[in-house]
Structure 1
């Protein structure tokens, strides 16, 4: 049987993730498993979904390692 959390719980947990709260602490606050927090966070990242006041970009920017920008590209 599936277990569902309220939209408010999910949004609160995702907002706290955006603010830098660790998955472990976030899970304790919301009364869910750490894996649940990770699943919610990764689902939003993979789907490129954004939330009001923050969120994740649809396409992640790769690290430049200090290299010069290739203007032609």
Structure 2
């Protein structure tokens, strides 16, 4: 992984001198490597979860059993 950069267009890349100095210091062993950035916690999933699908299937099975019992199906 290289120093932080800013890209202009497709090919033009710029670096800050402070970022280059820090990167070179880490590569040469002069400075300790920076701590990795913490990742944000994952967002909860949207949509139907597995247990909700089982609940829906159970309700549908119950309705079908009730219809068969009443002789409507």
TM range (shorter): under 0.3
TM-score in terms of structure 1 length: 0.24
Larger Rg: 2
